[in-house]
Each structure stands twice: as C-alpha cells, then as structure tokens.
Amino acid sequence: MAPAASHPLVPARRAPRGSFFRLHALDLAYAREMIVPMSLGLIVLVLVMAGNFVYWAINSIVNQGMSVLPVLKLFILAAPGFAVQGIPAGTILGVCLVLNRAVRDNEILALRAGGASLPRIVAPFLFMALVTSGVDYVIVEHVAPITNDRAEKTLARLMSQNSAPFIDSDRYFRAGPYYFYVGRAENGVLQDVMIYQRADTKYTSFAPTTYPIVMIAKTAHENPDHKGQWILQNGFTHTFDSTGTLQSETPFQQVTINIEQQLNNYFGTQKQPFSMTGSELSQKIADLKNAATDAGQLNTLMVDYWRRAALPTACFVMALVAAPLALKYARHGSFAGLVAAFLLAFLWQGFDGWFRALGIAGYLSPMVAAWATNALFFVAGAILLVRER
C-alpha cells in the first residue's frame, strides 16, 4: 500500500534547516487568494482618500468649465500618493478575509491537526505583507515623488487657466500665495475684498517672522484682456514689522496682481515633502538647520522623513496583528474579517496621527514619533500570536 501523501505544510520526514521559510503549494494558494481582496481594499481606500479631490473635480468641471481630460490626468498622477496609505489597509483586508474563510472552511483546523504550528500557518500571509511593504517603499521613494511633483505642476496650470474660482459671498479662498476674503460677489465683480499676500521666504505657518502684506479693496475684477490678472480698486496696502505693528498704510486707486504668474511661481518652486525623494528631503532638512528655521517646520520635515520607511513597514506590522485576530474571531461570521480590517486601519491611523502631532510639537523625537505606532502594533501582534498558539 502506497504511503499517504504528506501535507505541504507538514512534511512527512524531517525537513532540512531553513525549510520553514520555503513557499509550498498551499502557501502559494493563500498568497494568490490574497491578491483580489488586497486590490479591492486598495482601490476602495484610494477612492475614499481622494474624496476631496473628487468633489473639487466635479465642482471645477461643472461650475468653472474645466475640461474632463486634464482633471482625469491630475487624478491619475495623484493616485500613487493615495496608494501609499491604501496599500497597508489593502494588506490587512487580504489577511483578514482569507484567514477568515480558511477558518470557516476548517482548513486551519486540518492544518493544526496535522501538526502545523500557528506561526507556520500565518507565514505566507506575513510573507505577502513583506512583499507589499517593499512595493509600498518603492512607491514612496521612487514613484510618488515624481507623480506628486507632476500633479502639483498640472494643478498649477489648471488653476492658472481658471484663476477665477467659483466665488460666493462672504467666503475665503486661496490662490497660491494669496488668501482672499470676499464680502460680496455680483456679476463677476468682487466687493469688500481683503487679500493677505504670503511671502514664503519670510513666513511660515508655525512661527511668522514677518507678517503678510494686507490689501483691502472696495472692488476687484478680472482683467478681461489678460486672464489671470486681477484689478483691485479704491483700497489700501498695509505692511507690518516683525512685531506685528503697522508699519505703513498706502492708499491706491488701482493695483494689478497677476495670480496666474504667482500660481506658477508658487507651485513651480515650492516642493512639498511628499514630492521629494528621501535624499532631497534630507538635504532640505540640513539646509533648514543651517538657516536656524523655526522648530515646528523643521520637526514636521524630520517626522515626515522618518515616516517614509515607517509607513511601508505598517503593511507587515498590521498583518502581524490582523492574523491572530482573524483566526480568533472568524467563527463569529463572514463579516468578522471586514470589521477587524477596518478597525485595525482606523486604530493605526489614529495612533499615527497622535504620535506625528507629538513629534511635530517636540514632545517626542522625530524618529520615535514616526516609528512608535509600528512598534506598538508589533508588540501587540507578537503577544496575540503567542497567546493564540
């Protein structure tokens, strides 16, 4: 009588050293099964995070007459930036749903009865999480900086082509370095206008060293012969010293500001952290240290620098927590996996936001603030995995 075939996870004879990490048939099956829920989770999270963009796009197309194709191009360019945070959520969704199904179909019970340990059972899921961590890091470091930079430049062109936003009465809006308040808007003419002109070389949102120039005008309208150029009439220009004391008040009958040019300059020269590679961000941090800039801005950049590696690693640490939870609560129903996945993603985002805020405020070092959430989840996942054994 022929000997029974051994299970791919439970070798019939003693395996050579290192076989624990080899992928066998069932491991590959679980890995392939994770691809669909991971992809669906990624798509859903990208669409959720792009909610504000979608609203802006619909408003721009309907109310400002923008073409659909440039807006669609902008969304495609911005998608990798959204995917950076969507990939960890997609990973835990794949882990939870596949393990949930395996428990309900008694596959895990059969493997445990055959002698497979719990760490060996979850190994293919953690391996897939490591793969997605690597993919996420490649996007963070090599793809997203390029696409985000192009997205900013595309946005600058769209805003310069449509520099007259959809303006309502008693509203604030921003156009590059200008912040507008409009008291009333009637037939394309703005009335009771207040404009703050921000000089980025001298002013930061954390600690202003030079106060913005304030222009107050009775009326403002776009120059019909030069799109993107606005004419302010019957107003005053106020400047302030470093203490906030009024330095000068200059009346004017008519002043022209070129929003289109300022928008192009603003977006073309001001790279945001998410549009930089790690080396570029490191160089900017070094430059700001030499310039003795304010602590808030420096801490923000340093926390974001360390998060470039911490965020992709979240795929693995969240999977480490998700696996034992999915095994434990799978018998509660098919929705247990979904609930666990969304709960873990929510908790990770919440803790990450709190630690980031503490790092920016200076209560934690930037490296600790960036990695604290991953460390917390790693410890929790290890404890849950040991207890589930």
What pLDDT is attached to residue 181?
82
Same-domain pairing of 244 and 351: no
Tokens found for residue 371 = 């990695």
- Which ranges of 6-64 would DSSP assign to H, the alpha helix? 25-49, 51-64
Q: Are residues 134 and 224 in the same domain?
A: no
Question: 130 with 222, same domain?
Answer: no
Domain count, the chain: 2
Distances (CA, A) of 13 to 10, 24, 80, 118: 9, 15, 46, 19
More confident residue, 27 or 315: 315
* Residue 298 predicted with pLDDT over 70: yes
Does residue 133 fall inside a structural domain? yes
110 falls within a domain: yes
Rounded to whole angstroms, how far apart are CA atoms 64 and 377?
46
Query: Minimal CA–CA distance to 322: which of 163, 47, 129, 92?
Result: 92
pLDDT value of residue 320: 93
Is 309 within the bounds of a domain? yes
* Residue 96 neighbours by CB distance under 10 Å: 31
The answer on 156 and 27 residing in a single domain is yes
> Is residue 9 assigned to a domain?
no
Confidence of residue 334 (pLDDT cuts 50, 70, 90): low
Task: Report the b/e string of 172-208 with b at 16+ CB within 10 A.
Answer: eeebbbbbbebeebeeeebebbebbbbeeeebbeeee
* Mean pLDDT confidence for 194-204: 62
Residue where a domain stops, chosen among 266, 286, 307? 266
- Percent of the chain's residues with pLDDT above 70: 75
Please check whether residue 353 lies inside any domain of the structure. yes
Could you say which of 226, 247, 266 is where a domain stops? 266
- Tens digits of residue pLDDT in 272-285: 777 788 888 888 88
pTM: 0.67
- For residues 66-70, give the mean pLDDT: 74
Residues 39 and 97 in one domain: yes
Residue 371, pLDDT above cutoff 90: yes
Q: Which of these three, 251, 266, 281, is where a domain ends?
A: 266
Residue 166 within a domain: no
Domain that holds residue 330: 23-161+295-388
Among residues 42, 34, 125, 81, the alpha carbon closest in space to that of 345 is found at 42
Query: Are 299 and 157 found together in one domain?
Result: yes
| Domain identity same for 49 and 121 | yes
189-197 vs 178-186, strand pairing mode: antiparallel
Same domain, 61 and 104: yes
Does 175 lie in the same domain as 139?
Answer: no
In terms of domains, do 66 and 88 share one?
A: yes
What is the reported pLDDT for 173?
A: 67
Q: What is the DSSP letter of 335?
A: T
CA proximity to 310, closest of 376, 377, 373: 373
77 pLDDT band (50/70/90 cuts)? confident
Residue 16 pLDDT grade (very low, low, confident, very high; cuts 50, 70, 90): very low
Are residues 258 and 312 located together in one domain of the fold? no
Q: What is the pLDDT of residue 111?
A: 86
- Which pair of structure tokens corresponds to residue 179? 């912040």
The arithmetic mean of pLDDT across residues 96-119, rounded, is 86
Q: Name which of 144-148, 277-281, 289-293 the model is least confident about.
A: 289-293
Cα 98 from Cα 112, distance rounded (Å) = 17
Dist. CA 315–CA 90, nearest whole Å: 9
More reliable by pLDDT, 310 or 157: 310
Alpha carbon distances (Å) from 280 to 170, 285, 288, 297, 312: 41, 9, 12, 16, 19
Same domain, yes or no: 204 and 60? no
CB 260 within 8 A of CB 163: yes
**Average pLDDT of every residue of the chain:** 79
The answer on pLDDT for 95 being more than 70 is: yes
Token code pair at residue 365 = 């070092």
283: tokens are: 């160089």
- Checking if the pLDDT of 64 tops 90, the result is no
